[in-house]
């Protein structure tokens, strides 16, 4: 994660973290130094799930016959920002969008 943040900073590429994905991963900031560093990096943006994004995520859940709104919101954010997804959950995301650009950890 540190290398990803460093590389993004060197290339002046913003990192986008969907708010729902952050909520799903965040438990105790005192023990999550890497995640806190990612969220606190100057080039990191937290993508808020607004009404349009929530509806788009719901439609994706319906189309892919999945129930994970957070995974669907990650796919929506990736398309909105024309960005690849860095994840350890590639299989679930590919079920929602087989063409999604994914960088597996």
How high is the mean pLDDT of the chain? 91
The 10s digit of each residue's pLDDT in 68-97 is 999 999 999 999 999 999 998 899 999 999
Q: What is the CATH number of the domain that holds 23?
A: 3.40.50.1010
What is the domain extent for residue 89? 2-104
State the total domains in the chain: 1
Nearest CA-CA partner of 70 in 13, 87, 12: 87
85-87 and 15-18 beta bridge pairing = unpaired
Q: pTM of whole model > 0.95?
A: no
Q: DSSP label at 91?
A: H
């Amino acid at each position: 994660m540190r290398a990803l943040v460093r590389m993004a900073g060197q290339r002046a590429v913003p990192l986008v973290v969907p708010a729902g994905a952050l909520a799903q991963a965040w438990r105790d900031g005192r023990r999550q130094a890497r995640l806190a560093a990612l969220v606190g990096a100057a080039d990191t943006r937290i993508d808020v799930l607004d009404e349009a994004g929530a509806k788009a995520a719901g439609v994706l859940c319906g189309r892919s016959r999945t129930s994970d709104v957070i995974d669907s919101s990650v796919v929506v954010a990736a398309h909105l920002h024309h960005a690849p997804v860095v994840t350890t959950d590639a299989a679930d995301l590919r079920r929602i969008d087989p063409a999604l650009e994914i960088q597996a950890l």
